[in-house]
Amino acid sequence: MKTLTKEFGLLVLDKAGPVYSIDTSLTNSNWRQLSPGVGVFIADTYFDLGGLAMDDKTLFFEGAAMQEILPPAITVGTAGDNLVMVDIMCTTPLTDNEVALYTQFGNIIGDGSSLTFDQTIYGRVRTLNMDLDNLAGGYFITLGDNQTGSLEATASDRIYCYRMVITTITADSQTTVTGARYILRATAKEEPEYEYLMRLKRSYELQNEPDRD
């Protein structure tokens, strides 16, 4: 069994009037903003499984998780401020807009999602909020935590990882989202040739679909 890890660094974002921005002096370089001034921030990376693909092996997942240090914190919080946190590990690449739409559709294809249940190894959407009771502490509290992953085996040579923060903040302030670690526990095994070739064909098709806006 193998334990695979990928890490996302610190995100520090500023709110001034209606404009949101990244504090580049404190934020890890892999974070970016979906659109200038908009309170949507995203980072991505991937697990490289090319060595397993060369050995004609399939990866069977036994567990997936995400680790964090602390809840997000804000310097000047107002009751009703909220964050939506999205964490995805999947076998098909996503555009930034597709990651953002995960908060609406998840991987429910009938609702309009571009990502299927089988393609979603790990999917998690959390809603965090500030209320009157925790304003002094400055930490957001969790209102909802929903997971939609399948842990479906794959012959893909990449697992794509996306982390997104969507903010709605009232006052001028600074919000800190600590780093995170994605973890996959998996075993590489050889499958019967026909099953492996069909899985490999499907993985290739998913990774080479035309870009979607």
pLDDT of residue 176: 97
Q: Kind and range of the H or E element at 203?
A: helix 193-207
Of 46-60, 76-90, 172-186, the range with the lowest mean pLDDT is 46-60
Percent of the chain residues past pLDDT 90, beyond the cut: 67
Tell whether the torsion through CA atoms of 71, 143, 115 and 62 is positive or negative.
positive
The pTM score is 0.87
Note the pLDDT tens digit of each residue in 147-161. Answer: 999 999 888 889 999
Q: In sequence order, which ranges of 42-192 are alpha helices (DSSP H)?
A: 50-54, 96-105
Residue spans per domain, the chain: 2-207
